Amino acid sequence: MRFGVVVFPGSNCDADAYYAIRDVLQQPVEYIWHQDNDLHGVDCVILPGGFSYGDYLRCGAIARFSPVMQAVEEFARQGGLVIGICNGFQILCEAHLLPGALVRNEGLRFVCKHVYLRVENADTPFTNRCRAGEVLRIPIAHGEGRYVCDRETLQELQANNQILFRYCDSNGALTKESNPNGSLANIAGIANERFNVMGMMPHPERACEAILGSEDGLKIFHSIVHSALAAAR
């Protein structure tokens, strides 16, 4: 399975994602420059974390108009797998590939620490190697990671099981204290209606080796590979 990691001016987790795929997952991967309009035949696109275009206008708002995003949008429309991590999540929302928006953290401070996530839907290309209700330990690093949407959108997300991850405590309980940024309904990650596009604030690529404090992020990447292999069969 071939992965492509999109690189925007200001991306700072592209190398982390590349390393996780190539050296840990041991899958083919290549960088895709933001000015490319060709995804080079990859099977999964990763929009990594960082500060695309310096976040000078609004997180992800400028990157959404990069030439590569036209190719990403077409790829997603055709059913291709796309995962946006942190800034990548923001870009997917700005591009309207995912509903809602990411705004300043409730405490107005940058937060960088390990958090716990409860898997809400384990029947997707991004979570099939997890169990529903399983608690993962994955780090966050963001200042504008508070997920918000209107009431109707939240109801649709809940009704369609599009909420894939919620912030929780170590026992899986959804509490205000376990919500690091004040996200609506403790939301940490969502998918589109077709479940081929997923955005999440936590960084699974930073939780792929025990030396980093957790290997739970690998379950997400293994899910993607398993899904692609199953589709090929």
The CA distance from 88 to 91, in Å, is 5
At 228 the pLDDT is 86
At 175 the pLDDT is 97
Task: Quote the number of domains for the chain.
Answer: 1
CB neighbour list of residue 48: distance below 8 Å, 6 or more residues apart:
5, 6, 7, 11, 12, 13, 14, 16, 17, 85, 86, 87, 88, 205
In contact, 46 and 17? CB cutoff 8 Å? yes
CB neighbour list of residue 8: distance below 8 Å, 6 or more residues apart:
34, 50, 52, 53, 63, 66
Q: What is the pLDDT along the chain (233 residues), one digit of tens a residue?
A: 999 999 999 999 999 999 999 999 999 999 999 999 999 999 999 999 999 988 877 888 899 999 999 999 999 999 999 999 999 999 999 999 999 999 999 988 999 999 999 999 999 999 999 999 999 999 999 999 999 999 999 999 999 999 999 999 999 999 999 999 999 999 999 999 999 999 999 999 999 999 999 999 999 999 999 998 887 77
Q: Token digits for 64?
A: 């959404």
User: Which is the catalytic residue, given 13, 44, 86, 130?
Assistant: 86
Q: Decide if 86 is catalytic.
A: yes
pLDDT of 54-104, one tens digit each? 887 788 889 999 999 999 999 999 999 999 999 999 999 999 999 999 999
Radius of gyration of the chain (CA): 16
Q: Which of 111, 230, 119, 232 is nearest to 172 (CA)?
A: 119
Q: Decide if 96 is catalytic.
A: no
Q: Decide if 168 is catalytic.
A: no
At 192 the pLDDT is 98
User: Which is the catalytic residue, given 59, 94, 205, 208?
Assistant: 205
Q: Token digits for 30?
A: 């290549």
At 59 the pLDDT is 87
pTM of the model: 0.96
Q: Are strands 44-47 and 29-33 parallel, antiparallel or unpaired?
A: unpaired
The CA distance from 167 to 137, in Å, is 10
**CATH number, domain with residue 73:** 3.40.50.880
In which domain, by residue range, is 175 found?
Answer: 3-232
Mean pLDDT, the chain, integer: 96
User: Which is the catalytic residue, given 94, 142, 203, 208?
Assistant: 203
